[in-house]
């Protein structure tokens, strides 16, 4: 669903027309062939400022980052590789590219889930890349430089521009220049956790809440003390029919930083669970709103087998992604998963419900479940539901392969 370093900071605001009296206006950089050549190579992201709440959440996750711009076979296009540390984990993303519109000095980042726009701004140094971000009425600015350390002059220039835009200190985040993540080929040991994110072509829509679960593995068997009630749901003859219909996305929690970055971009979403020709298999149609875009996926299904746990599986290869968990109410749809990467386990939990307005007791139950799994409060992201209209996507055909469908026993 899914964007980090550049993607996280490219979803920002438009250039102000009115400036404080003592401030010089931001001047767009002229983009010609020489400029395109100068932009190539390695850049270190150092700071970003924004009034956009979601962007602030994204920037807060980024401890440090750098990126490479490579030439492309297409005119006025850069290929992008981003390397960032999100909390304590390293993430490498090479699934994006930038298209450049020379006339208005605009750079458009095309990511797996969405596109975001920024304007290249003139700077006092050729070794500085200042971007003014365009996202509705919210203001934003970011600075990246060639060196791993930001010079005093570069820092002061950025601070002045931020102040002139009316951005506050609490809306500004600075990256650390220490403990940078290595590129895969630079690694000399296995102490770093590096996740390479390469969404396959045509599957960009799969990067969101439940589809994040689609690359995930098995349920944790050990529960913390007093958490014995957090058990897999064991279906009976009535379970499949009760799961059918619409479920609203309420919240998600994850220990994996890249999943947190994906979740903060989701405004709202819902699942439609539909029957298939096989009674024990229920197709999941997912629809989510990521900023101003509607995304959908039907690449997962529920396997409901009596006296066995209800599994969520990937339709292409029947791989288990997660399990439905017991809850106090049939109005709650609770998914737990575990992701294993670089010899580390990451746990996550997703909450859906029949009603968008959940009771205090139901939300408390979700938080208790998350706590039982070792998830912290700051690792829980609630869908804000700021947009009132749900995505209305055209229903897609069943994707569960017939030839390789497993034979399930009741």
Shared-domain flag, residues 216 and 160: no
Write out the chain's pLDDT in tens, 410 residues.
Answer: 333 334 433 433 333 334 443 578 888 999 999 999 999 999 999 999 998 887 888 888 889 999 999 998 888 999 999 999 987 788 888 888 899 989 888 898 887 666 778 899 999 899 999 999 876 667 789 999 999 999 999 999 999 999 888 888 889 999 998 889 987 544 343 333 333 333 332 232 222 222 222 222 222 223 333 454 567 777 888 888 889 999 999 999 988 888 888 888 898 999 999 998 888 889 998 889 887 788 888 888 888 887 677 788 887 888 777 888 888 888 988 988 877 776 677 888 999 999 988 888 888 888 888 888 888 888 899 998 888 788 875 554 444 444 333 333 32
- Whether residue 113 is contained in a domain is answered as yes
Residue 394: its pLDDT value, please? 55
List C-alpha distances in Å: 144 to 49, 155, 293, 307.
12, 10, 28, 56
Integer Cα distance of 6 and 180 in angstroms: 16
Whether 16 and 167 have beta carbons less than 8 Å apart is answered as no
Domain total of the chain: 2
Shared-domain flag, residues 127 and 233: no
Burial status of residue 328 (CB atoms within 10 A of its CB: 0-12, 13-18, 19 or more)? exposed
- Whether residue 244 is contained in a domain is answered as yes
Shared-domain flag, residues 48 and 172: yes
- Whether residue 146 is contained in a domain is answered as yes
Shared-domain flag, residues 138 and 275: no
Backbone angles phi, psi at 206, to 5 degrees: -85, 0
- Whether residue 387 is contained in a domain is answered as no
Residue 48: its pLDDT value, please? 93
402-409 long-range contacts, CB within 8 A, separation 24+: 404/317, 404/318, 405/278, 405/281, 405/318, 406/318, 408/278, 408/280, 408/281, 408/303, 408/305, 409/305
Domain boundary among 132, 163, 197: 197
Domain boundary among 151, 168, 197: 197
Shared-domain flag, residues 328 and 310: yes
- Whether residue 283 is contained in a domain is answered as yes
For residues 154, 159, 161 and 162, what is the CA-based torsion angle, rounded to 10 degrees? 140
Question: Which distant-in-sequence residues (6+ apart) come within 8 Å of 13 by Cβ?
Answer: 50, 51, 52, 132, 133, 134, 135, 136, 137, 138, 139, 140
- Whether residue 327 is contained in a domain is answered as yes
Shared-domain flag, residues 193 and 217: no
Shared-domain flag, residues 173 and 287: no
- Whether residue 225 is contained in a domain is answered as yes
Domain boundary among 197, 220, 254: 197
Residue 212: its pLDDT value, please? 28
Shared-domain flag, residues 171 and 281: no
Integer Cα distance of 376 and 261 in angstroms: 16
Shared-domain flag, residues 246 and 178: no
Shared-domain flag, residues 159 and 231: no
Shared-domain flag, residues 224 and 92: no
Q: In a 3-state reduction of DSSP, which class is residue 318?
A: coil
Residue 156: its pLDDT value, please? 92
- Whether residue 400 is contained in a domain is answered as no
Q: In a 3-state reduction of DSSP, which class is residue 180?
A: coil
Residue 292: its pLDDT value, please? 78
CA geometry: angle 145, 162, 76, nearest 5 deg: 45
Shared-domain flag, residues 240 and 351: yes
Integer Cα distance of 139 and 132 in angstroms: 8
Burial status of residue 74 (CB atoms within 10 A of its CB: 0-12, 13-18, 19 or more)? exposed
Domain, as residue range, for 241: 205-382
| Residue 340: strand pairing partners | 345
> For position 176, which CATH number holds?
2.40.128.20
Residue 218: its pLDDT value, please? 25
Residue 229: its pLDDT value, please? 53
**pTM for the predicted model, two decimal places:** 0.51
Question: Which distant-in-sequence residues (6+ apart) come within 8 Å of 407 by Cβ?
Answer: none
Residue 350: its pLDDT value, please? 92
């Amino acid at each position: 669903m899914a964007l980090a370093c550049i993607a996280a900071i490219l979803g920002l605001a438009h250039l102000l027309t009115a400036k404080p009296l003592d401030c010089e206006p931001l001047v767009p950089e002229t983009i010609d062939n020489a400029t395109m050549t100068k932009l190539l190579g390695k850049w270190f992201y150092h700071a970003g400022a924004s009034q956009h709440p979601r962007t602030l959440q994204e920037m807060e996750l980024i401890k440090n980052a750098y990126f490479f711009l490579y030439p492309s076979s297409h005119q006025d296009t850069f290929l992008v590789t981003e390397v960032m540390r999100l909390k304590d984990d390293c993430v490498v993303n090479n699934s994006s590219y930038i298209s450049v519109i020379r006339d208005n000095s605009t750079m458009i980042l095309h990511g797996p889930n969405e596109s975001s726009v920024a304007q290249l701004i003139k700077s006092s140094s050729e070794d500085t890349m200042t971007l003014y971000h365009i996202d509705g009425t919210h203001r934003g600015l970011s600075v990246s430089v060639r060196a791993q350390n930001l010079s005093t002059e570069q820092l002061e220039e950025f601070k002045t521009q931020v102040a002139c835009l009316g951005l506050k200190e609490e809306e500004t985040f600075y990256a650390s220049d220490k403990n940078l993540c290595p590129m895969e080929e630079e690694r000399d040991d296995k102490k770093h956790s590096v996740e390479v994110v390469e969404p396959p072509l045509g599957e960009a829509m799969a990067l969101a809440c439940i589809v994040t679960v689609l690359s995930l593995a098995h349920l944790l068997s050990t529960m913390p003390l007093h958490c014995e009630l957090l058990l897999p749901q064991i279906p009976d003859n009535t379970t499949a029919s009760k799961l059918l219909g619409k479920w609203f996305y309420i919240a998600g929690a994850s220990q994996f930083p890249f999943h947190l970055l994906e979740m903060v971009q989701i405004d709202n979403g819902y699942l439609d669970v539909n029957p298939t020709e096989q009674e024990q298999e229920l197709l999941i149609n997912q629809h989510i709103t990521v900023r101003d875009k509607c995304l959908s996926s039907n690449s997962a299904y529920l396997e409901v087998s009596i006296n066995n746990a209800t599994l969520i599986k990937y339709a292409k290869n029947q791989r288990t992604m997660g399990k439905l968990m017991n809850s106090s109410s049939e109005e709650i749809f609770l998914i737990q998963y575990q992701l294993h990467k670089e010899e580390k386990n990451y746990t996550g939990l997703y909450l859906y419900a029949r009603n968008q307005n959940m009771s205090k007791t139901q939300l408390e139950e979700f938080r208790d479940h998350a706590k039982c799994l070792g998830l912290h409060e700051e690792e829980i992201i609630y869908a804000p539901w700021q947009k009132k209209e749900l995505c209305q996507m055209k229903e897609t055909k069943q994707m569960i392969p017939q030839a390789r469908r497993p034979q399930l026993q009741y």
